[in-house]
Amino acid sequence: MCGRYASSRSPEDLVEEFEVVADRTPAPLAADYNVAPTKEVYAVVERPPSRDSPEPPERQLRVLTWGLVPSWAKDPSIGNRMINARMETVADKPAYKRAFAVRRCLLPADGYFEWYPTSRTTKAGKPVKQPFFIRPADGGVLAMAGLYEIWRDPSRAEDDPDRFRWTCTVITTDAEDSLGHIHDRMPLMVERDRWSQWLDPRVGGELSLLVPAAPGRLEAYPVSTAVGNVRNNGPELVEPLPLEDVPS
């Protein structure tokens, strides 16, 4: 699964990187080096300029909450369990089927974290887990494939600007060989030349647009165990850990 990632780029940088037409973020998010479920994150989507507009969809930068709440959900807390959607079932599973058809997004990230069980054990006999940060080897942005939903809060009035909750999930697949020894799952990427087709709500979802990172495209290195505590945040969380400090 993908349960933590880093996102430090400014909205201005993302607008340029993803050729966004409309920045719909209410306020810039602070750089976050320990993005966890239920946090607000940046997402690139394509939406009609207005509900009844005949104009084609425009590419927008929005702020969503990580943890998808289906439009039919009665309790929004279901989103806490829906941070990842498996590629193998995303087109058919009721929670994701409608979003996969028309509400696809890109979730920009610097990289993501996974934990590797070492040979050491805790006093309770459980393996000590070493976190790794996995990022594009060229230092570029990681465009993770995602889905988003818009949930209507029935307890809020029609004129309440917060009556709609925008949420998202990350699509995952089997990890490629060089990363599989760390964790068996990884986020799916959307290559730049496929962004337009992936985002366009007028085009049905195509699994062929999603690809795992090519071997050598990503690099992984150990980082401080401080990332395990969501209250910790800062660029030091993505700094490589000296080899002598890495448990075997």
Tens of pLDDT, residues 10-27: 999 999 999 999 999 999
Domain ranges, residue 189 = 5-245
> Which residue from 151, 70, 140, 61 is spatially nearest to 107, judged by alpha carbons?
61
Give the type of residue at 6. A
Specify whether the CB–CB gap between 199 and 62 falls below 8 A.
Answer: no
pLDDT in tens, 199-239: 999 888 888 888 776 777 889 999 999 999 999 999 999 99
Residue 216: predicted pLDDT? 78
Mean pLDDT of all residues in 152-162: 81
Domain CATH number, residue 147? 3.90.1680.10
Mean pLDDT of all residues in 79-107: 94
Answer whether residue 41 shows pLDDT above 70.
Answer: yes
Residue 36: predicted pLDDT? 97
Q: Please name the residues in contact with 199: beta carbons below 8 A apart, sequence gap of 6 or more.
A: 44, 45, 46, 57, 59, 104, 105, 106
As a whole number of angstroms, the distance between CA 221 and CA 62 comes to 30
Degrees (nearest 5) of the Cα angle 232, 238, 241? 105
pLDDT band at 140 (very low <50, low <70, confident <90, very high): very high
For the chain, how many helices (H) and strands (E)?
Answer: 4, 13
| pTM metric for this prediction | 0.92
Residue 177: predicted pLDDT? 55
% of the chain at pLDDT higher than 90:
68
pLDDT band at 245 (very low <50, low <70, confident <90, very high): low
pLDDT in tens, 188-206: 989 899 999 999 998 888 8
Q: Structurally, how many domains does the chain consist of?
A: 1
Residues marked active site are found at 2, 114
Mean pLDDT of all residues in 99-109: 96
Answer whether residue 77 shows pLDDT above 70.
Answer: yes
pLDDT band at 180 (very low <50, low <70, confident <90, very high): low
Residue 206: predicted pLDDT? 84
